[in-house]
Amino acid sequence: MLTIYSADHQLHHGQCELIDGQLLPCFEKPERADIILARLETRQLGPILPAQEYGLAPIARVHDQGLLDFLRSAWSRWAALDQPGDLLPYTWPTRVLGQQKPASVHGQFGYYSFDAGVPITAGTWQAVYSSAQVALTAQQHIMAGEKAAFALCRPPGHHAAADQIGGYCYLNNAAIAAQAFLDQGYRKVAILDVDYHHGNGTQGIFYDRQDVLFVSIHGDPAAEYPFFLGYADETGVGAGEGYNLNLPLPAGSGWQQWGAALERGCQRISDYQPDVLIVSLGVDTYEDDPISCFRLTNADYLTMGQRIAALQLPTLFVMEGGYAVEAIGINTVNVLEGFEGR
C-alpha cells in the first residue's frame, strides 16, 4: 500500500498537557509518526511518497475562515508578547458566557477551541497545514485509481470541528479528504472512525448531510473524552438523519465487543454503498495505551484490517491517535497488512 508522509509534522511539538491534575509531557509527540514510518519501512508495505500541495482552498471547504486566520497568525501574535511557553487556551465561551469573539489572542483561542489539548508552537501551523496536504495527496491517489492509501497524518484531526479545535486536533484531515472526494465528483463517502475517542469534529461537520455517512466505535462518552458528544442517540439531523452511527462501548472492551461493533458498522457502510471509504485510524484502542481503556491486542489489528478489506471499497486510511509508542508502528501497520491480506 502507498503511504504519504511529510516530515513537517516534527515542527509541532507541544511541551505539556493537563492530565489528572498534572502538567505532563504531551502524549501526542513527533516520535509517534516516526515509529510508524520506521515500521512501514521494515515491513516494506509499499512506496512512501511526499505530500503535494493543494493549498488552503480544500481546507476552507471544511473549516471556518476565522479559525484558519487564527491558526495561521496565533504564534506570531503570541511571540510578539515575548512569552516563554506554548500558547494554550484557558477560558472558553461555555453556556454561562457570551459567544462574541474577543480581540486578544488568548480570548480568540478560547473562542476557537473546546479544550486545552491543543498547544500552539512556532511550527504548529506548518505542521497542521502539511498534515492536511498529506491527506489530500493520498486522496488524489485514490481518485487516480489507487485501491488504497495510507495518509500518515500528524497532528491528527478527528476532534477538530469546522470552527473549534481540541483533543490534539487542529484541522480535520479525514473531513477535508471526504469533502475533496465530493468536490471532485464522488457522490457518497463513508467515514469509519476506529479511534478510541469519538470523532466529534467529523460528526459535527457532516451531521446534517447524507452525502457523508459517519460511523464511529469509541469509549462511551459518559465516561470518556470528549464527554459531550458521541452518544448512541446522535443519529444525524435534517437531511443527515440516519447518516450518523455512534457505537459507544464500555471501558475494558476487548475484541469480542469491539469486533461485534465493527461488524455492525461495516453492515451499515455496506448498505450505504459509498463510492469510497475513509478510515480514521487511531490505535489508542490498544490494551497498553496510556490514556485509553479498551483491550485490543496486536493481532486484533490484523483482523480489523481484514474486515475493512471485505467491504471491497477504495479505502483511504487517515492516521489519528495512539500513544503506546512502543507498539504504535506494529498496530498501525498490522491494520494495513490485514487489509492487504498479508
Q: Collapsing DSSP states into helix, strand and coil, what is residue 190?
A: strand
By C-beta, is 282 or 314 nearer to ligand OKS?
A: 282
48 binds ligand OKS (CB under 6 A): no
By C-beta, is 85 or 290 nearer to Zn ion?
A: 290
Query: Applying CB under 6 A, which of residues 12, 141, 197, 209 lies at the interface with ligand OKS?
Result: 197
Smallest separation (angstroms) from Zn ion to the CB of 225: 8
- Kindly state the number of chain residues that form the binding site for Zn ion, as judged by CB under 5 A: 6
201 binds ligand OKS (CB under 6 A): no
Residues 197-216 that bind Zn ion (CB under 5 A): 197
Decide: 316 and 157 in contact? Cβ < 8 Å. no
By C-beta, is 167 or 240 nearer to ligand OKS?
A: 167
Largest CA-CA distance found in the chain, in angstroms, rounded = 55
Between helix 65-79 and helix 124-143 the angle, nearest 10°, is: 150
155 binds ligand OKS (CB under 6 A): no
168 binds ligand OKS (CB under 6 A): yes
157 binds Zn ion (CB under 5 A): no
Q: Using CB under 6 A as the criterion, what x/- string covers residues 302-321 for binding ligand OKS? A: ------------------xx
Give me 214's grid cell.
459517519
Give the separation between CA 101 and CA 115, rounded to whole angstroms. 16
Give 90-109 as a 3 state SS string.
CCCCCCCCCCCCCCCHHHHH
Give the separation between CA 21 and CA 247, rounded to whole angstroms. 29
DSSP output for 157-187: -TT--SS-BBTTBSS-HHHHHHHHHHHTT--
Q: Which residue, judged by CB position, is nearest to ligand OKS in the bound state?
A: 321
Give the separation between CA 214 and CA 225, rounded to whole angstroms. 18
Which span (16-24, 92-100, 202-210, 251-259) binds ligand OKS, by CB under 6 A?
16-24
Smallest separation (angstroms) from Zn ion to the CB of 331: 13
Active site residue 159: yes
Q: Using CB under 6 A as the criterion, what x/- string covers residues 92-131 for binding ligand OKS? A: -------------------------x--------------
Smallest separation (angstroms) from Zn ion to the CB of 157: 11
Give the separation between CA 210 and CA 320, rounded to whole angstroms. 24
195 binds ligand OKS (CB under 6 A): yes
Which of 141, 158, 159, 198 is labelled catalytic? 159
Smallest separation (angstroms) from Zn ion to the CB of 188: 26
Count of alpha carbons within 13 angstroms of residue 131, beta-carbon side: 29
18 binding partner (options Zn ion, ligand OKS, none; Cβ < 5 to 8 Å by kind)? ligand OKS
195 binds Zn ion (CB under 5 A): yes
Count of alpha carbons within 13 angstroms of residue 125, beta-carbon side: 14
The residue to which cell 491527506 is assigned: 135
Give the separation between CA 31 and CA 37, rounded to whole angstroms. 10
By C-beta, is 274 or 321 nearer to ligand OKS?
A: 321
Decide: 320 and 278 in contact? Cβ < 8 Å. no
Give me 152's grid cell.
500518515
Give the separation between CA 125 and CA 70, rounded to whole angstroms. 10
Residues 283-312 that bind Zn ion (CB under 5 A): 284
Footprint on this chain of ligand OKS (rule: CB under 6 A): 17-19, 117, 159, 167-168, 195, 197, 225, 282, 284, 291, 320-321
Footprint on this chain of Zn ion (rule: CB under 5 A): 195-197, 282, 284, 321
Could you give the residue numbers annotated as active site?
A: 159
